[in-house]
Chain A
Amino acid sequence: QSALTQPASVSGSPGQSITLSCTGASSDIGSYDVVSWYQQHPGEAPKLIIYEATNRPSGISNRFSGSKSGNTASLTISGLQAEDEADYFCFSYAGSSTYVFGSGTKVTVL
């Protein structure tokens, strides 16, 4: 199972909106609405910020939103803030009791 494809880096200025993509295949993202996104700050464990493609867990800012179309999922961060600077990983169920993560995107706030 190959990793989902994410851009290595995305940057934006404070207040801007940025969108991170996560491209998979018909066997994973394309078949299952079990796509989730994680934010990871240096030295910390990943934190769930979007689940089932579009849902936010309790306590996660509404500046984070998710979507899915075909084999690609997207995470949009609006009103970019300095604290959003982190690594972001997508995740999908891939069927046959297997799972796959994305390669990760480093978000830089300029």
Chain B
Amino acid sequence: AQSVTQLDSQVPVFEEAPVELRCNYSSSVSVYLFWYVQYPNQGLQLLLKYLSGSTLVKGINGFEAEFNKSQTSFHLRKPSVHISDTAEYFCAVMYNQGGKLIFGQGTELSVKP
């Protein structure tokens, strides 16, 4: 079955520390991978996406993610977080071009001073 697993439901971290939010998906021949962010009481905003090409993808707000086909992972990283990064982060996979996005359960990132 097609599925996405975000391994951590909550990640507390101190300001200026590095962070990694983990995402694994069920294997497929080809996938398109996305990370979305949802700030409190707001809609979802696209952070970054992997469609093809370089496996290291850079997004907005200093985030980046690396596609690892052998590990079926797409972990999100930021070298130094800010208080304003506090939000819920969703990993999503599209298995067919133009098809539906399948979302993980979300990871709540809480950045503390």
Same complex for A and B? Answer: no
